[in-house]
Amino acid sequence: MAIFAIADLHLSLGTSKPMDVFPGWEGYVARLEENWRRTVAPEDTVVVPGDVSWAMKLEDCGADFAFLDSLPGQKILLKGNHDYWWTTRAKMDRYLEQQGFSSLHILHNDSYSVEGLAVCGTRGWLFDQSEPQDEKVMARELGRLRASLQAAGEGEKAVFLHYPPVYPGARAEGVLAVLREFGVQRCFYGHLHGGMIRYAVQGEQEGVRYRLVSADALGFCPYKIS
């Protein structure tokens, strides 16, 4: 049983927001499905750190979630900056159960134990917190990250974020402090696309190994982390 990660699927099977118009994203859904089925086994788990679907409302996610549910493995979904459908945990869990999407699971203020690894995380937020509203959002995200890590108990904790916590010349100091507090050694993130991929911080910094797992950075193939 392996664990994979891939963020920023940006599915729009039930909406008119195709990503194919962007360079490198041509035919990405078919490429994603082919790579996923070739790489992931039914007993595996795939973590999707945000930007899962372009749907604006939860009830409009049906086509995208049905596609994901049809792919091999269990999927753990986190919130991204474009997941406007995201709502309360109770509503999301109820929707998934009612629709029979049994392989889809929401990570929100908690963690999942998969093959001895604690899967933890949250969306994160922007580096620039010059506005009071940004400070409030980051404070909430830090609380959610801490709650997720506290729920993990003992053992190795891997953190999954949508926003990168480090970038050349910029650092989300609050996020990094929480990673240090809980002894996190591996952090996976998405959000960066196209020309921004080349600037992503990859590898070890201050005891934490970082890896960008946005879909286009991975060639639309889930990345094996364990």
Q: For residue range 80-116, what is the model confidence (pLDDT) as tens digits?
A: 999 999 999 999 999 999 999 999 999 999 999 999 9
pLDDT, residue 131, reads 75
CATH number of 57's domain? 3.60.21.10
**Full domain range(s) for residue 129:** 3-224
pLDDT, residue 60, reads 96
Give the number of domains in the chain: 1
pLDDT, residue 14, reads 84
Rg of the chain in Å (alpha carbons): 16
Per the structure block, which two tokens stand in for 109?
């203020």
CA distance 224 to 226: 6
The residue written with tokens 């946005």 in the block is 214
CA 75 to chain centre: 10
pLDDT tens digit sequence for 11-32: 999 877 778 777 888 999 999 9
Alpha helices (H) in 40-131, listed in sequence order: 62-70, 89-99
pLDDT tens digit sequence for 112-155: 999 999 999 999 998 776 678 888 999 999 999 999 999 998 89
Q: Within 13 Å and on the Cβ side, how many CA atoms surround 190? A: 33
pTM of the predicted protein model: 0.96
CA distance 59 to 194: 30
Residue 137, φ and ψ in degrees, nearest 5: -65, -45
pLDDT tens digit sequence for 30-67: 999 999 999 999 999 999 999 999 999 999 999 999 99
How does strand 117-122 pair with strand 112-114? antiparallel
pLDDT, residue 194, reads 93
The β-bridge partners of 214 are 7
